[in-house]
Amino acid sequence: MGSNYDLEQRTTEFAKHVIRLCKSLPRNPINDRLTGQAVGSAGSIGANYREANDALGQKDFVHRLKISRKESKEVIHWLELIIEANGNSTERTLPLIREATELRNILSSIITKSSKI
């Protein structure tokens, strides 16, 4: 149970950091689209992880984890595009890409272990 809570907290903190980054960027049609997508996928990582922890069975658990992992891959995409559109945001965005990559790897590991059960 402890590790579940820690990852729940970690995914929430990650989403908060993405929100803070996105709020700091200038408003324009490109950023509005990119930040909306980035915030959405960042928040979905934790939301789906929480749903996995309340899953109805092993199949549902793994399915929710796969959605969470998909969202972690997606947020990396959007963060890379944010860097492209806002070159001055690279220093603040790269640590978020690293964290999203770590979350993806953790989720992949849980999926692999859970699928063997």
pLDDT tens digits, residue range 38-74?
999 999 999 999 999 998 899 999 999 999 999 999 9
Distance of CA 110 to the CA centre of its chain: 15
Residue 65 · residue 111 · CB < 8 Å: yes
Domain count, the chain: 1
Q: Is the pTM of this model over 0.85?
A: yes
Tokens of 34: 């990119």
Residue matched to tokens 């860097």: 83
Query: Do the Cβ atoms of 71 and 44 come closer than 8 Å?
Result: yes
Q: Of residues 115 and 93, which shows the higher confidence score? A: 93
Which DSSP helix (H) or strand (E) runs through 42? helix 29-53
DSSP state of 96: H
For residue 67, give the CATH number of its domain.
1.20.1440.60
Is pLDDT above 50 for 1?
no
15: containing domain: 2-115
Amino acid at 74: E
pLDDT of residue 104: 98
Candidates 34, 113, 111; CA nearest to 74 is 34
The C-alpha atoms of residue 117 and residue 109 are separated, in whole angstroms, by 13
Average pLDDT over residues 4-8: 80
